[in-house]
Chain A
């Protein structure tokens, strides 16, 4: 799980262009949206693409992302449970 969390942090920094951030800078329990990393609605859509492209997880409804993207930790747990690649 620790390995997945670190990899996920690297992928998010890369795909969301979080300039100047390192995986160590991100608290995996902090909220991704609003406070925390301060991501917005377009970032959420990009995370949906990341899940499909890297882990073979296709969300049927974008609203499902609200629960899954609560934090890196929650996201990693979901990926661990549902990944197909």
Chain B
């Protein structure tokens, strides 16, 4: 279905959520929105003649529609693909004799998708738990704003469900036994959904030339709660800071509605109500689209932005299906009915495991609109790498003198050598342990763990995402020994390592996780520069490569500091 067909379906009150009593061998029933297995677009073959997975098939289908609508040639070097997904083809772990062992790697899926379109660039995967879709758009936004390398960026959000994902959320007691009720007083959990959605972003050379009705991404921010790896902050701290940074200098009276995350879990919806009230936006209409498709994980941030954009173009506010009697920690103006609006902007909010929160602000291009400086992206000075410097580095690989030790023993030995007392270390998966140790060494004596370090950010990447731990979780859901473990499942998201480091050191700035086939120093350099440029308050970024796969680990972490003097000099010259 096209975006407009989806919009019209939900505007007519259609929900794709259904009860699945015994699906994929999962003992407990669940509500979800799943694609019909007979649907042709679930079983595509790439233009190179390679069979695509379910996730890759729907991603390609969504991207084809978006690329056609945008009228761009996606096979050129000036186009980059950014894929947002949390679990990719993780269901393949249940098939030990899979033809291609690399098919379960997220970067491989991204290459299959970009390759289908003949694109020559290495695609980027953003895997930042539930905020991935918005984080991917922010990555695209920063790349277009602070670099002239690409003319268009195709952002694709895609997620399919499986026994792996459903059983994990069930072990977390996060799923509602009925249709979800976002922001309702009687909400009792979320529903999951499958989806793919794609947006083509282009640099805005001159906003005046844009046709009326064009949706413009004005600003966005990611902030970490530094509170808990799975539980939302009771104070909404990270989301509040993301809202403040995103709407700074923007007339909030223009905001027609807030499209919230609204998962219908008790704590998420309460947390959003706290953050929205603390931001003074409690009177702005709020909706959640989870009642139509469920929580579509890596696709949610992209799909919900598209549907909200169409609503804004039509001057409509969609109701929050499932909400009947709103009841959150702090009151919200929850949309219960269709309504019209004269506002010309909307705010997208999203939060996820790892303590990450994102806010994106979109506006509608109108005739004779005063667009302001915020859109003059090509006039922004692109700062080179001399605006920041690497001040420390840390490499950790298997110790050649201690090859008799396995990875767990090596990580524990390293922990003992550092001489700290942090019992939570032993609850972490290997990826988090490796990243945690790197951070301990690099940040020692440089960061004050007693205060909030909102001027610090974390950007990490790897090849295997959380596959090392995913394989462990897969063992807990075997047919004959089915006891899905919540404490293993929580680490089946690569970005949890950024959350663990953020909690340890009270880091409240951007935390992002990317997946690439190998360490891409050039990309990392670009991401650091763009993050420093996008957030003037950011002073330090802990970054690098943290990978664990098949019993091997590799850590190459760096600490970068903004060069205040250089930045100030450049500002004066500008």
A residues neighboring B (CB under 8 Å): 15-20, 38, 40-43, 45-46, 48-49, 52-53, 62
Contacts and interface: CB of A to CB of B under 8 A. Distances in A.
B486 A19 contact: no
B503 to A, nearest CB: 11
Contacts of A19: 423, 425-426
A17 to B, nearest CB: 5
B172 A45 contact: yes
Nearest to B230: A42
B426 A17 contact: yes
B171 interface: yes
B171 A45 contact: yes
Given A19-B426, A41-B231, A49 B173 contact: no
B483 interface: yes
B487 A16 contact: yes
A49 B485 contact: yes
Q: How large is the interface on B (under 10, 10 to 19, 20 to 34, 35 or more residues)?
A: 10 to 19
B93 to A, nearest CB: 20
Interface of B: 171-173, 228-231, 423, 425-427, 483-487, 490
Contacts, number: 39
A40 B173 contact: no
A45 B483 CA distance: 12
The A interface is mostly helix, strand or loop, or mixed, namely helix
B427 A17 contact: yes
The B interface is mostly helix, strand or loop, or mixed, namely loop
A40 B486 CA distance: 12
9 contacts: A15-B487, A16-B487, A40-B228, A41-B230, A42-B230, A42-B486, A43-B487, A45-B171, A45-B172
A18 B427 CA distance: 8
A45 B423 contact: no
Contacts of B230: 41-42
A17 B172 CA distance: 18
A76 B484 CA distance: 23
Given A16-B487, A41-B228, 18 more contacts: A16-B427, A17-B426, A19-B426, A20-B423, A38-B423, A42-B230, A42-B486, A42-B487, A42-B490, A43-B487, A45-B171, A45-B486, A46-B485, A46-B487, A49-B483, A49-B484, A49-B485, A53-B483
Given A40-B228, A62-B173, A45 B426 contact: no
A42 B231 CA distance: 9
Contacts of A17: 426-427
B474 to A, nearest CB: 16
B171, B172, B230, B485 interface centre (most CB from chain A within 10 Å): B485
B225 to A, nearest CB: 15
A46 B483 CA distance: 10
A19 B423 CA distance: 7
Contacts of A41: 228, 230-231
Nearest to B490: A42
